[in-house]
Amino acid sequence: MSKKVIFMGTPDFAVASLKSLIETGIDVLAVVTAPDRPAGRGQKLKASAVKEFALTQNIPVLQPEKLKSPDFIAALKAYQADLFVVVAFRMLPEMVWDMPKLGTINLHGSLLPRYRGAAPINWAVINGDTQTGVTTFFIEKEIDTGKIIDFSKIDIAPNDTAGDIHDRLMVVGAKLLSKTVGQIFDGTATAIDQPAAEATHAPKIFKPDCLIKWDNTVKATHNKIRGLSPYPTAYTILYKEGQQKNLKIFESKPAKIINSNKESIVVNEEGLFFLCTDGYLKIENLQLEGKTRMKTSDFLKGFDILQWHLANPHQ
């Protein structure tokens, strides 16, 4: 039996899966990825990570602006692929995902039906979960609701960031996806309905969601920081005599310090600490507005943070 696939994806996370499919002997007829976009200070057009890799493999690349475009639909049909494989791509219209005879499968960065949606890795860490994983499933009309084919689990350590989990799931997911595709072509894949009652959601994260107001516990605030690191990044606002500056925080650590005055900002020989509702959080890695990212020890050498203050709604 032929093993002809069209692969759809955009970021680095998807490249590992595409590479794995090729290495396991799957015939990737073409890739579908986002159009080139302006990037960087020069706003030069930049290709997606998937496109860059596909070109090194001499795989044709399709970059439709609109997924219902007649030209794009005709191009897809002309390839006569048996299966479409989707990793970190846009939501597909039914006329696309229903096209191949073996269906369209997706690799999702959670243990479905938990964390359906755009930001499953971030929300798993923000919520303090100790385990997550990846799931392969058949795409259906409602997003992330199709029949589950297979899954792999990984543990989340107390100080893992969303970036750490992303990188591990990228590798685990690539392996799982190749296994799933092989089973589909061998006729040994099974698919089961998702237990809808167990579903949770992972909506896209916007800048207001990233603001830390310090009105929560040390644990919850630490989880928020690591769940948004390195992107889109938690931040707080420093105030001083009518001025304000945004301060991004990439890394933190729950701390045990005693400060009877309960000052919102503490600096001592151990480092920089911000007050939460039940104690202090040590800030390890940050970026002041207009500056580069740096270790807190370097930041404190050039910035007198004690001249500023935090808004602490709990005080």
As annotated, the binding site for (6S)-5,6,7,8-tetrahydrofolate includes: 110-113
For residues 252 and 264, give the distance between their C-alpha atoms in angstroms, rounded to a whole number.
16
Separation of CA 18 from chain center: 18
For residues 219 and 126, give the distance between their C-alpha atoms in angstroms, rounded to a whole number.
10
Which positions make up the binding site?
Answer: 110-113
Which residue is it, tokens 């998807």?
14
Residue type, 140: E
For residues 12 and 48, give the distance between their C-alpha atoms in angstroms, rounded to a whole number.
8
Residue type, 41: R
Q: Give one word for 87, left, alpha or beta, with left for phi > 0 and alpha for psi -120 to 50.
A: beta
Helical segments of the chain, H only: 12-23, 49-56, 70-79, 94-97, 120-126, 162-186, 218-227, 296-302
For residues 268 and 78, give the distance between their C-alpha atoms in angstroms, rounded to a whole number.
67
Q: What is the CA radius of gyration of the chain?
A: 23
For residues 209 and 211, give the distance between their C-alpha atoms in angstroms, rounded to a whole number.
6
CB atoms within 10 A of CB 313: 10
DSSP string, 180-238: HHHHHHHT----B---GGG--B-PPP-GGGGB--S-S-HHHHHHHHHHTTTTT-EEEEE
Question: Using an 8 Å Cβ cutoff, are 28 and 6 in contact?
Answer: yes
For residues 292 and 297, give the distance between their C-alpha atoms in angstroms, rounded to a whole number.
14
